[in-house]
């Protein structure tokens, strides 16, 4: 069989394994997965947090997006306080500081550890900037992360409402493909929001 690999092999980048037939080609580039996940590891360690693989993949996605966005200013809107770590990753990797970055989150954010040094400084700025006011008023012109869960319809609605008018930003929903989250999916569709679903079941929309 004349696979896609045979036809294209001289144009492909270096790789360690290939899966291919005449219509399909998947190349495994060396340590790709580890390289993607490694930057998040250091951030988690620095705040004494450990998470499982699927959530780590979501954090890694936020990490890549935040690093690549190279924004001057940004907003983070968190719909579920249990996702505070995701907000922190976005904050660190967007260059959040006393002058740069805004965070809106519902009450009930978990306590972060008390740290010295540069991690302590970043954490202090992050915590100081958290705005718990239930009416979220933010600049829709600057890059905005809306990070949420699909645990309840109200959380999803809150995320969708806030993301709808954002000019540039990302809507990130953990466990979006969960079987029993069909109501949440339908709600987003009604608002003409159609997230892409990752292998791990997270949903995201990026606006640039």
Partner 1 sequence: MSNLKEIEKLIQSGDYVEAQKKTELLKAPKATKLAVLASIALKVGEFQKSEVLFERALETDPNNILAIGNYGQLLVAQKQFNRALPYCEKVHLTEQKNEGYLLNYVACLAHIDNFEKAIEVTKNFIEKNRKNSLNVKLTLASVYRAYLKPREALDVLNNAIEVHGDEPELERAIADAYAEIDPKTASEAFAKAIEKTKKPLPLKWNWSFVELRMQNFKLGWELYEAGLDEKIGRVGRPLPAVMRQFKRVTQIEDLQKGKYTLLTAEQGIGDQILFLSSLNEMLPKIEKPILICEERMLPILRRSFPTIEVKTYGFANSLSSQQERLNGVFPIGSMMKYCRSSKEDFLQKRKPYIQTNELKTAEYKKLIELKYPGKKIVGVSWSGGFWDRQKRAKSIDFEELISLMKMEDHVYVSLQYGDVSENKKLVIEKKLPMVFIDGIDFKNQIDEWVALAAACEKIISVSTALVHFAGAAGKKVDLILGESQSPFIWGLEEGNSLPYENVTIYRQREKEKREDYIKRLKGVL
When the beta carbons of 41 and 152 are compared against partner 1, the nearer one is 41
Cβ–Cβ < 8 Å for 157, 186: no
Shortest distance (Å) from residue 78 CB to partner 1: 19
The residues that touch partner 1, with contacts defined as CB under 8 A, are: 9-14, 38-39, 41-43, 45-46, 66-67, 92-95, 97, 116-118, 121-122
HSE of 129, CA atoms in CB hemisphere, 13 A = 23
When the beta carbons of 93 and 129 are compared against partner 1, the nearer one is 93
Shortest distance (Å) from residue 39 CB to partner 1: 6
When the beta carbons of 47 and 177 are compared against partner 1, the nearer one is 47
Shortest distance (Å) from residue 42 CB to partner 1: 4
Shortest distance (Å) from residue 140 CB to partner 1: 23
Cβ–Cβ < 8 Å for 65, 206: yes
Burial pattern 63-78, b for ≥16 Cβ within 10 A else e, equals: bebbeebebeebbbbb
When the beta carbons of 67 and 82 are compared against partner 1, the nearer one is 67
Shortest distance (Å) from residue 77 CB to partner 1: 19
Rg (CA), the chain: 19
Closest to 181 in 3D by CA, of 164, 163, 197: 197
Cβ–Cβ < 8 Å for 177, 107: no
When the beta carbons of 103 and 159 are compared against partner 1, the nearer one is 103
Non-local (6+) Cβ contacts of 57 within 8 A are 37, 198, 199, 200, 202
């Amino acid at each position: 069989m004349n696979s896609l690999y045979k036809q294209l092999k001289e144009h492909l980048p270096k790789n360690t394994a290939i899966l291919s037939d005449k219509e399909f080609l998947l190349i495994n580039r060396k340590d790709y997965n580890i390289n993607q996940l490694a930057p998040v590891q250091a951030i988690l360690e620095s705040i004494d947090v450990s998470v499982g693989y699927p959530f780590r993949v979501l954090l890694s996605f936020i990490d890549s997006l935040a690093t690549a966005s190279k924004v001057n200013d940004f907003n983070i809107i968190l719909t579920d306080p249990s996702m505070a770590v995701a907000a922190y990753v976005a904050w660190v990797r967007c260059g959040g500081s006393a002058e740069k970055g805004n965070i809106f989150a519902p009450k009930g954010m978990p306590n972060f550890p008390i740290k010295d040094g540069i991690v302590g400084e970043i954490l202090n700025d992050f915590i100081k900037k958290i705005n718990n006011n239930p009416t979220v008023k933010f600049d829709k012109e600057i890059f905005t992360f809306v990070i949420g869960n699909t645990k309840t319809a109200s959380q999803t609605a809150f995320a969708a409402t806030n993301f709808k008018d954002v000019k540039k930003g990302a809507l990130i929903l953990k466990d979006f493909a969960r079987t029993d989250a069909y109501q949440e999916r339908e709600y987003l569709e009604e608002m003409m929001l159609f997230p892409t679903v990752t292998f791990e079941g997270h949903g995201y929309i990026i606006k640039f």
